[in-house]
Amino acid sequence: MQSVVDKINNWIIKVPNEFSGMSELEVSQRPMPNKWSKKEILGHLCDSAINNLERFIKIQYEEQPFALTPYNQDQWVDIQHYQDISIEEIINLWCGLNKKIIKIIAKTPYEKLAYQCDIGNNQMKTLEWLIQDYLEHMEHHLKNQVFN
């Protein structure tokens, strides 16, 4: 898990630096009417952090297997109006949430990484898989849609 922690820490440094070089137009412009702007993508990653932080905590003490509750990511982004919030506010939220996630990951006992969760469609995954998937999801958006 140290590799995941290190990679998230690197993103916590890189994301504010990369956004500081972008104009308001660049971070607010939607590539297509039905696609998210860079601000909304980072907002989506905040929502992912909120939902996964809760999961990373609950999986450690709830009855096994822990059933993940899905969330409607488009509704989360829309209702929170990330497009109308300053990029600095979104960056601060994203960094703060990921610093908390790092602390949870770092303090998770090794044996709990094998705890099972039901991700839907009769698929069982471990907490370790879920943590790695969180990072992969983050990196997918950052590398392919924000900093491409």
Radius of gyration of the chain (CA): 16
Question: How many domains is the chain partitioned into structurally?
Answer: 1
Q: In DSSP terms, which residues pair with 90 in a beta bridge? A: none
Identify the band that residue 148 occupies on the pLDDT scale cut at 50, 70 and 90: confident
Boundaries of domain holding 73? 2-146
Spatial distance between the Cα atoms of 23 and 77, rounded to a whole number of angstroms: 21
- DSSP annotation of 35: S
Tell me the CATH number at 94: 1.20.120.450
Spatial distance between the Cα atoms of 42 and 38, rounded to a whole number of angstroms: 6
Total-model pTM: 0.96
Q: pLDDT tens across 76-105, in order?
A: 999 999 999 999 999 999 999 999 999 999
Listed residue (117, 110, 2) closest to 52, CA to CA: 117
pLDDT of residue 17: 96
The contacts found for 72-77 with CB under 8 angstroms, 24 or more apart, are 73/44, 73/47, 73/48, 76/44, 76/47, 77/36, 77/40, 77/43, 77/44, 77/47
- Amino acid letter for position 46: C
Q: pLDDT tens across 109-138, in order?
A: 999 999 999 999 889 999 999 999 999 999
- For residue 15, give the 3-state DSSP assignment: helix
